[in-house]
Amino acid sequence: MTTPSVKPRLNPWDLPRTNLGKYISRRAAELQKRYLAQNAAAKATLAQLRNGVRRPLGSDVLAWGAIFDGFPPELAGRSDEPNRAEVAAHAALSLFAIHMQSAREPMHLNGVGLGRAVRRLSRSPDESDPSSPVMRRFHALGTSVDLPETLHHARGLVQQLRAAGIGLDYGRLAEDFAGLQSPERADGVRLRWARDLYRLDPTPNDDNPNELKEEN
């Protein structure tokens, strides 16, 4: 007798809710699908995004097409400086490119917020202690005072997630980065991370992260 596979339980509040988050989800899903199919153009795009992770968006010429091709018009800036949505999009896609480097399976996974991904990463006895490298990095991320510091710690976590083969919802991460740039929303982003990390009702798929599928 064949046991039916368990479908992921994705609650509406676990998914991207803004046009920015939905756009980044689609973009990441498209890039990873092509990358995993050994598409040369997708590999080149992700390499360009990785190389620009520390550069300001305006100076990262090679990343412009990857970020702005199809970018929602209502989110585009009107001044000479990138707005919050553009900065968040650049940050999220650059980290996604790092996460996908040498990957053999999808690393953009719907509904897996940062706190939830870190919870999976910290399940080993060595990493669940508050003083473990994973938890120290996560706490440093939560107490970062500006976006560059946030991205520094987020990059370290993404590299640890990549090594463990644990995916992340990059649409939600883009929304988080946009929120962190707004003083009135930043604490709400951190609260959501904490709730995800210490959630008392983990879904069945938390024990098997590969059951969560990428967006098609």
Domain ranges across the chain: 15-211
CA dihedral 29, 35, 38, 40 (to 10 degrees): 120
Report pLDDT for 2. 42
pTM, full prediction: 0.84
The amino acid sitting at 214 is E
33 vs 214: CA distance, rounded Å: 9
160 vs 138: CA distance, rounded Å: 11
Report pLDDT for 53. 78
What is the mean pLDDT of the segment spanning 54-78?
A: 84
Which residues are registered as beta bridge partners of 108? 168
Dihedrals phi, psi of 132, to nearest 5 degrees? -70, 160
CATH 1.10.520.40 correct for 15-211: yes
One DSSP character per residue, 118-143 reads HHHHTTSTTTSSTTSHHHHHHHHHHT
Q: DSSP character for 45?
A: H
170 vs 29: CA distance, rounded Å: 9
pLDDT tens, residue by residue, 165-185 = 999 999 999 999 999 999 999
Query: Which range, of 57-66, 90-99, 140-149, 195-204, averages the lowest pLDDT?
Result: 195-204
* Mean of all residue pLDDT scores within the chain: 85
Report pLDDT for 57. 75
In sequence order, what are the residues at sequence separation of 6 or more whose Cβ sits closer than 8 angstroms to the Cβ of residue 34?
Answer: 41, 42
